[in-house]
Chains A and B, each alone.
Chain A
Amino acid sequence: MTFLQILIDGFAISSLYALGAIGFTLIFGVSGVLNLSHGAIMVTAAVAAWAVAGNFDVGPYWGAAAGVLASVVMSFATYLLVVRPIQTSRRIAREEKEIFVLTATLLWGIMVQEAIAYFFTSNPKTVRPLVAGVINILGVRTPKQEIVTAVISLAVIGLLWLLINRTRTGKTLLAASINPRGLTLLGFELSTIYLYVWGLYGVMAGIAGVLLGSFLGVSSDNIGQLTASAFSIVVLGGLGSVGGSLVGALVVGYLETITAYLISPSIRTIPVLLLLVLVVYLRPQGLLGRR
């Protein structure tokens, strides 16, 4: 029974991790930005969904939509107010821009964290589930929302795969991640592509945030942990590799779940961190990363 429970819970949490981490790696792959305000954007989505659904009594679906919208707005704000001014600045040396962006997104995340704590308290919020109740899977009582979480996460990842591999826009994104200079020479406007990818990222982080808020609940205190989790997954899978993030999310999700069930929930993240150290030491490009 415990085995089946681990299988179900691990799958749900891995799917959710994958959705969040793929957005994170997409931004890095296409625009070269390691967005350390990732957790803040996810929590903004969850808190917005909670606040709208609770205060306006509009039901969980409109609440979720408001959460995703808030995430898209936050994503554009991060790019236009924090990242882009640094990227276009002539006063910052080119080789220093990455570290400036890294620091700026980290500080931006902290500012958002403090703002959420100030206006909504640091107490965890739980988004009303899209589907309430439980279902019995071979004797394991599972919340329906847990299944919805896994299904939506995988569906969104599937849609992203279709977008990248089957559409002209997707191929442009792929090209931007491989050779941005070449793309510019072909007449594509990189800033438009970046806007597009930040919008896409906002949708993905928003859906991940709302689902996390309804599955486990989130608080502004979780922002650092969520960013670290996405960071661990993409480093484990290989920075910039969407497939790697998927594998990384499965490894992290199941390793955490197995630890929580078989050892103790108090140390559920420790084995993942040890594995991360090992991977960085033995295979710095990650499990599926390119060198």
Chain B
Amino acid sequence: MTRLPGKWAAALAFAVAATPCLAADPIKIAVIAEASSISGAAIPNAAKIAADEINAAGGVGGRMIEIVEYDDHSSAADAVRAFQRAANQDHVHAVIASYVSEVVLALEPWSGRLKLPMITPGAASDDISHRVHNDYANLKYTFHGYLASTFLADSVCDGLKVVGVDQLHMKSAVIMSEDAAWTLPLDAEYLKCLPKIGIKILDHIRLSPDTTDFTPIFNKIEGLKPDVIVTGISHVGVQPTVQWHDQQVPIPMIGISSQATSSTFYKDTNGATESVIYQTISAPDVAVTPKTIPFTNAYVKRFGITPAYCGYTAYDEVYYIADAIKRAGSTDPDKMVDALEKTSWEGTIGKVEFYGKENEFTHAMKVSPEYVAGLLVQWQGGKQVTVWPANVANAKIKFPDFVKLPAN
């Protein structure tokens, strides 16, 4: 047997030792979400699609994206443990976390302490970005990858002005929101923006997320005779929708209904969601950007259902995290934050850019038709069709017979 010269043997040994190290040096992105809920499951599912696409195209400078999943059961305590493990044990480079505001608010200080960039694809509380504004030096690692509650309420009001006030002559409303962190600023903004569009608020109901029988609530609302129920529901969804339908409550529901954004909602409600109108920033039938429909199709092909709202945002987040790392040329957290702040990424939901530290919504997504804007989507014949704004709407609003619309 021929022996290799000493220097060649050393070089070979170095190459053998170094090659697996370089090859096994992926960019790790943690995804912390509740796996057993409609919205939560969409987050890791969408992130995996994005990672696979990026990896198939050669990764980021040759480094592959690896998604590391953690199920937080929508519990802040579980999420914090997952975050600590992701940072200290699994050594991830960024975190995409939850659609529950209470969970994201619990993770926010940990993102600062462990200097680990975190983006939420679905939580809405204004406090997420307000806290970054108030304590930028410590909390700058958190980014708000979905609309803040105030912007959600404004978007609902903008849509309601056109489809509710101008087209259907609605003049009065009852606000019905679940009692949660994200609905506090949502309701506060509803109370401001609805009167501005000419809608009188007859009552403001905050319901417990544990409510199972909504009959007394609908009974009370019906007694007030509003033209519309403006909703703010996410953790609840199936039961109020089914009971609204089965009891034939004659008042249309328009607003935020997060679970209605996924196609599984139609099956879960046995079709009771028919005619419900919800606000979102992307829909399966509308090419908000050239990336929206291909992503929806890829998601449907892989998982058999359309993505919930935070699937679109989670998909985009993987892409712009990868883009930020590429621009920063590093996974150093401070450099990543600098790069993320300069993000200008056209994703499935529009052009994503973040407000700067001088804005009270620091690191929240910019909202306007130029960047990310809202849509109103209605369930019609088992499909989600966009009814507002006019430039992308592909259907006219219609309601079942039991819904009584205001007289002209």
Q: List residues of chain A with CB under 8 Å of any chain B CB.
A: 2, 5, 9, 13, 54, 117-118, 121-129, 132-134, 141, 143, 145, 216-217, 219-220, 222, 225, 257, 260-261, 265-266, 268
Contacts and interface: CB of A to CB of B under 8 A. Distances in A.
B359 interface: no
B179 interface: yes
Contact of B219 (A5, A54, A129, A268): A5
A127 B238 CA distance: 11
Given A9-B215, A13-B213, A129 B246 contact: yes
Given A141-B247, A143-B247, A260 B213 contact: yes
Interface string B190-219: 000000000000000001101111111101
B243 A216 contact: yes
B213 A265 contact: yes
B270 interface: yes
Most chain B beta carbons < 10 A, residue from A5, A125, A128:
A125
B213 A216 contact: yes
A260 B212 CA distance: 11
Nearest to A260: B216
B265 to A, nearest CB: 8
A36 B269 CA distance: 28
A67 B202 CA distance: 42
A141 B243 CA distance: 12
Contacts of B207: 265-266
Nearest to A60: B270
Contacts of A268: 213
Interface stretch (B35-43, B146-154, B342-350): B35-43
Interface in B15-70: 34-38, 41
A133 B272 CA distance: 12
A48 to B, nearest CB: 15
A261 B219 contact: yes
A134 to B, nearest CB: 5
A132 to B, nearest CB: 8
Contacts of A5: 215, 219
B248 interface: yes
Interface string B246-273: 1110000000000100001001111010
Nearest to A145: B246
Given A129-B246, A217-B239, A261-B219, A124 B268 contact: yes
Interface of B: 34-38, 41, 179, 207-208, 210-217, 219, 237-239, 242-243, 246-248, 259, 264, 267-270, 272
Most chain B beta carbons < 10 A, residue from A127, A141, A220:
A141
A147 B189 CA distance: 41
Contact of B36 (A117, A216, A261): A117
Given A143-B247, A216-B212, A122 B36 contact: yes
Contacts of A129: 246
A257 B211 CA distance: 12
Contacts of A133: 248
B38 A123 contact: yes
B268 A123 contact: yes
A116 to B, nearest CB: 9
Contacts of B237: 123-124
B393 to A, nearest CB: 29
B269 to A, nearest CB: 6
Contacts of A145: 246
Given A126-B239, A216-B239, A266 B179 contact: yes
Contacts of B35: 118
A133 B214 CA distance: 17
A266 B268 contact: no
B240 to A, nearest CB: 9
7 contacts: A5-B215, A9-B216, A124-B268, A126-B238, A126-B242, A129-B246, A265-B208
Given A118-B35, A123-B37, A123-B268, 4 more contacts: A122-B34, A125-B238, A261-B216, A265-B217
A5 B239 CA distance: 19
B204 to A, nearest CB: 14
The 5 closest A-B pairs by CB, nearest first: A266-B208, A117-B36, A124-B238, A260-B216, A126-B242
Contacts of B213: 9, 13, 216, 260, 265, 268
Contacts of B214: 265
A128 B269 CA distance: 9
Given A126-B239, A266-B211, A134 B247 contact: yes
Contacts of B242: 126, 217
Contact of B269 (A126, A132, A219): A126
B248 A141 contact: yes
A126 to B, nearest CB: 4
Contacts of A216: 212-213, 239, 243
A148 to B, nearest CB: 12
Nearest to B74: A122
A189 B22 CA distance: 70
Most chain A beta carbons < 10 A, residue from B37, B267, B270:
B270
Nearest to A117: B36
Nearest to B238: A124
A61 to B, nearest CB: 14
Contacts of B210: 225, 266
Contact of B248 (A124, A127, A134, A225): A134
A256 B93 CA distance: 50
Contacts of B264: 121, 123
Contacts of B217: 265
Contact of A121 (B36, B239, B272): B36
Contacts of A13: 213
Nearest to A51: B267
A122 B41 CA distance: 11
Contacts of B219: 2, 5, 261
B211 A118 contact: no
Contact of A122 (B37, B211, B212, B248): B37
